[in-house]
Amino acid sequence: MERLVNVERVCVRGGLYEVDLNQGECYPVYWNQADKIPVMRGQWFIDGTWQPLEEEESNLIEQEHLSCFRGQQIQESFDIEVSKSIDGKDAVHSFKLSRNHVDWHSMDEVYLYSDATTSKIARTVTQKLGFSKASSSGTRLHRGYVEEATLEDKPSQTTHIVFVVHGIGQKMDQGRIIKNTAMMREAARKIEERHFSNHATHVEFLPVEWRSKLALDGDTVDSITPDKVRGLRDMLNSSAMDIMYYTSPLYRDELVKGLQQELNRLYSLFCSRNPDFEEKGGKVSIVSHSLGCVITYDIMTGWNPVRLYEQLLQKEEELPDERWMSYEERHLLDELYITKRRLREIEERLHGLKASSMIQTPALKFKVENFFCMGSPLAVFLALRGIRPGNTGSQDHILPREICNRLLNIFHPTDPVAYRLEPLILKHYSNISPVQIHWYNTSNPLPYEHMKPSFLHPSKEPTSVSENEGISTIPSPVTSPVLSRRHYGESITNIGKASILGAASIGKGLGGMLFSRFGRSSTSQPSETSKDSMEDEKKPVVPPSTTTVATQTLPHSSSGFLDSAYFRLQESFFNLPHLLFPGNVMQNKDNTLVELDHRIDFELREGLVESRYWSAVTSHTAYWSSLDVALFLLTFMYKHEHDDSAKSSLDPI
């Protein structure tokens, strides 16, 4: 009869696992796992520890209990006085097991006794001393658990799912992304209990394992690998070879489609098991690691190297051929050019008709709310594809907001694979330090949108400068040496103060004459500064440049320069762009620096006793179990609950 009855499977662990009651096994829902998890039904429990008996013994005791007491009603099944004495009360029923026996003194007073020789001797001695059998060697059993299940006893509703995408090396260690996601999920649970316990919602992490299903070249690469140091070569073939596969025009599409199909499969499966997710506005974020960041980015943006190659060919065809040609050859080339242009126009019209008649299916079935990159080489790939800094601080320069609402780049300072993304949007952000990620145990941390930028390589603040010292002796933002990383997070106010002190000292040596304008150049060679120019009070001092792009006029009063400029710098440190950001900077019409709409690069803090050489080896895989990373992720995922009524974009920093 059990085989004929279709017993519904039971969801456990927040819906991530299912239990097959017939087989007594538990298995994950969203990913494959070779090892099955055995499951047993708990019916009879040991008093005190509330550990279940072995299922075989428990089933025998349950059958015997029902045969004796079926139809009878217990008074209070879950409010039993455990310490209730049964001295002098004989057992009404006894049942023999293989190594134990069970005595029923009443329907709710059941004791388990061991039939081992030592237990029998101890029981005989204690009974002769006046102790009862149950109190001397018996273990009380309870039918059912100490806490009764209620309708409210269920996990909180999931309003945000996070797809965790792995990078290289999954073939070498299959199932690693499942373990890494489990570590990240466990860290997130600890952070939720500590910082987000007042939320009635829940964030779920799902691993995306896309590598094991790909065929690629089969075993061709393994067959051509030399046998010497085979272990090392196999490790490289199983890890670094994924990068070569992705740069190959033959296998790149297979990797992209593998990840794309797995993301869509997981989303469809989750929505089918949680039908209210989409209706209640559930959100989806992606956490990608290493090469997975590049593949995920290409899926979201639809980037294809074939189209890039066609554009390059088209540009080459449009270039004039400067070699000598005969009249007939030039005439034929002109006709060929006109024909190609006509063909291109027809192709564009045909493509427009197809686009109007067909609704293009998006690559992903969901809108990405947050795209978290961890230890990501995405910036290098974009730079090699020709992405260069623009003149706006919008994320749309590299990832449109219509595709992904927020892009965040997380990296450890010693991670050898990670690169920054902000300098690809605005060049002068290469001299601004990434935002420091808060430690998870920081009390009342400052919100990230309120954290002020700080200089990456600040200038040393001079203590005293004599009037006769030359310009070369005064440190400037251009010539000052790079300071150690312990200056990270130094206040921009102190940096600006040092720059202004240097400018004031120069002005004092020039007889009270200060800078009247500041210029920059991206193509010219630095000009020389002679002693005659220092003595000439009528000529303004100009930094090395030949082309002035923006001007900034400062007050000529030597008495009030430092104070006014210092306090003005405290109000807005971008008012002196060329003192703070030498080189190629982007400015608005009002001579203020262009700012990012929101920060993208976020850096983990180094430990106090952390070795950088050892961290360079371990940091690339240290994100999964980090509580700092877990707090950072949840901070932005729970943020939408507070910002639903406000605008979706953050204020500029």
pLDDT at 2: 52
pLDDT at 257: 93
Give per-residue pLDDT as tens, 589-636.
555 678 899 999 999 998 766 677 788 888 899 999 999 999 999 999
What is the average pLDDT across 462-470?
Answer: 40
Per-residue tokens: 613:
């050489």
Q: Examine the pLDDT at 368 and tell me if it is beyond 80.
A: yes
| Biggest alpha carbon–alpha carbon distance for the chain | 127
pLDDT at 600: 96
- C-alpha torsion 118→122→123→124, nearest 10: 100
Range scoring the smallest mean pLDDT among 33-47, 177-191, 450-464: 450-464
pLDDT at 461: 42
Q: Examine the pLDDT at 418 and tell me if it is beyond 90.
A: yes
pLDDT at 163: 97
Choose from 87-96, 332-341, 551-560 the range with maximum mean pLDDT. 332-341
Q: Residue 19 is inside which H or E element, if any?
A: strand 17-20
Q: How far apart are the first and last CA of the chain?
A: 68
**Which positions ≥6 away from 174 have C-beta within 8 Å?**
212
pLDDT at 432: 93
What is the average pLDDT across 390-396?
Answer: 91
Amino acid at 607: G
Amino acid at 450: H
Work out the angle between the directed axes of helices 561-571 and 492-509 (0-180°, nearest 10): 150
What is the overall mean pLDDT for the chain? 75
Calpha distance 55→40 (Å, rounded): 6
- How many CB atoms lie under 10 A from the CB of residue 9? 15
**Which positions ≥6 away from 48 have C-beta within 8 Å?**
82
Range scoring the smallest mean pLDDT among 65-69, 315-319, 339-343: 315-319
pLDDT at 553: 36
Q: Residue 206: pLDDT band by 50, 70, 90 thresholds? A: very high
pLDDT at 586: 59
Strands across the sheet with 93-96, in order?
Answer: 44-46, 139-143, 109-114, 100-106, 93-96
pLDDT at 514: 32
Give per-residue pLDDT as tens, 549-597.
333 333 333 333 334 343 343 444 444 344 444 444 556 655 567 889 9
Calpha distance 203→242 (Å, rounded): 30
Q: Examine the pLDDT at 219 and tell me if it is beyond 70.
A: yes
Instruction: Compute CA 320 distance to the chain's CA centroid, rounded to the nearest angstrom.
Output: 48
What is the average pLDDT across 246-256?
Answer: 90
Calpha distance 338→341 (Å, rounded): 5
Q: Which residues share a beta bridge with 207?
A: 164
- Which sign, positive or negative, has the C-alpha torsion 496, 497, 498, 499? positive
**Catalytic choice (58, 137, 285, 290):** 290
pLDDT at 608: 64
Q: Residue 479 is inside which H or E element, if any?
A: none
Q: DSSP letter at 216?
A: T
- Give the CA distances from residue 178 to residues 71, 620, 634, in Å, rounded to whole numbers and listed in that order: 48, 17, 20
Q: Clarify whether 290 is annotated catalytic.
A: yes
Amino acid at 42: G
